[in-house]
């Protein structure tokens, strides 16, 4: 199955923290995205955006509901299968870049390829091509500490894409950047998503950035709705 035929369907996702007396963060949230679609999720702080994104990517499990990415149903897998799903099928970009300071830019991009069975040796050239794609061809041997915030996020984007994920999740990827840099990074995400036909879900507090993606969704009171 190629990436182009893979859709994302989340149905009736509920999640509560803190037991029976706790707070229900997500209440029967459903979301369906076609292959190659992009969506932005907005909503007030604490409404559950990161929780939802983490569930879509198999980082957290829902109390009830299902997630399907193409033929994969992550929450029907055992721990090992779920770890493989996260590593092979999903790319994550967070607000903090989480790059390893002692490793070069290229080594950082290759980190996700070190997990599980290794590949055919083409990872090096794929990493180089991705860094070229994000405009960092000349910075491959630099350390993250030598880069600007926007450049570090570009490295994080390249790292998220190294295993050619069917689903790219970005949780406030531009939250730490100044406005101009944020817009450039958002444009880059959108362009790469459009080239690779991966499904992209971006959480952002910026309506302007949300406007760059095909669908805009808002989460509030545990409920996901169209529009922002």
Of the pair 16, 190, the CB lying nearest ligand ATP is at 16
The structure tokens 């992009």 sit at: 38
Using CB under 6 A, pick the residue from 46, 116, 211, 221 that binds ligand ATP.
Answer: 46
- Within 10 A of 187 (CB to CB), how many other CB atoms are there? 12
Token code pair at residue 179 = 């406005």
Q: Closest distance between ligand ATP and the C-beta of residue 85, in Å?
A: 20
| Whole-number CA gyration radius for the chain | 17
Decide: is 133 part of the binding site for ligand ATP (CB under 6 A).
Answer: no
Order of strands, sheet of 199-203, starting from the edge strand that comes earlier in the sequence: 90-93, 167-171, 199-203, 38-42, 215-220, 223-226
Contacting range for ligand ATP; rule: CB under 6 A; set: 3-11, 48-56, 77-85, 155-163: 48-56
* 4 DSSP assignment: G
Contact 196, 164 (CB under 8 A): yes
Of the pair 96, 119, the CB lying nearest ligand ATP is at 96
The CA–CA distances, whole Å, from 214 to 23, 39, 193, 202, 210 equal 31, 6, 11, 11, 9
Residues 74-93 that bind Mg ion (CB under 5 A): none
Choose among ligand ATP, Mg ion, none what residue 25 binds, the Cβ cut-off being 5 to 8 Å by kind: ligand ATP
Q: Closest distance between ligand ATP and the C-beta of residue 43, in Å?
A: 6
Choose among ligand ATP, Mg ion, none what residue 112 binds, the Cβ cut-off being 5 to 8 Å by kind: none
Decide: is 50 part of the binding site for Mg ion (CB under 5 A).
Answer: yes
Q: Closest distance between ligand ATP and the C-beta of residue 82, in Å?
A: 17
Query: What is the rounded distance in angstroms from the CA atom of residue 198 to the CA atom of residue 185?
Result: 17
Decide: is 54 part of the binding site for Mg ion (CB under 5 A).
Answer: no
Q: Closest distance between ligand ATP and the C-beta of residue 20, in Å?
A: 14
* Strand pairing category for 199-203 and 223-226: unpaired
* Positions in the binding site for ligand ATP (CB under 6 A): 17-18, 25, 43, 45-51
């Amino acid at each position: 199955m190629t990436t182009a035929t893979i859709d994302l369907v989340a149905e009736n996702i509920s999640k509560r923290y803190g037991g029976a007396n706790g707070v229900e963060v997500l209440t029967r949230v459903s979301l369906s995205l076609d292959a190659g679609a992009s969506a932005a999720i907005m909503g007030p702080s604490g409404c559950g955006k990161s929780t939802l994104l983490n569930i879509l990517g198999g980082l957290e499990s829902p109390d009830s509901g299902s997630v399907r990415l193409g033929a994969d149903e992550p929450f029907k897998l055992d721990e090992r299968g779920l770890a493989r799903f996260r590593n092979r099928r999903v790319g994550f970009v967070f607000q903090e870049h989480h790059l390893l300071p002692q490793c070069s830019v290229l080594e950082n991009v290759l980190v996700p390829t070190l997990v599980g069975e290794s590949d055919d040796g083409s990872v090096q050239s794929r990493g180089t091509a991705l860094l070229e794609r994000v405009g960092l061809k000349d910075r491959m041997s630099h350390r993250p500490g030598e880069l600007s915030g926007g450049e570090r996020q570009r490295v994080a984007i390249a790292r998220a894409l190294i295993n050619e994920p069917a689903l790219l999740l970005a949780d406030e990827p531009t939250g730490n950047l100044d406005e101009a840099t944020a817009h450039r990074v958002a444009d880059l995400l959108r362009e790469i998503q459009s080239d690779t036909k991966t499904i992209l879900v971006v959480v952002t507090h910026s309506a302007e950035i949300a406007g760059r993606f095909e669908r805009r969704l808002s989460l509030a009171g545990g409920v996901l709705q169209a529009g922002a």
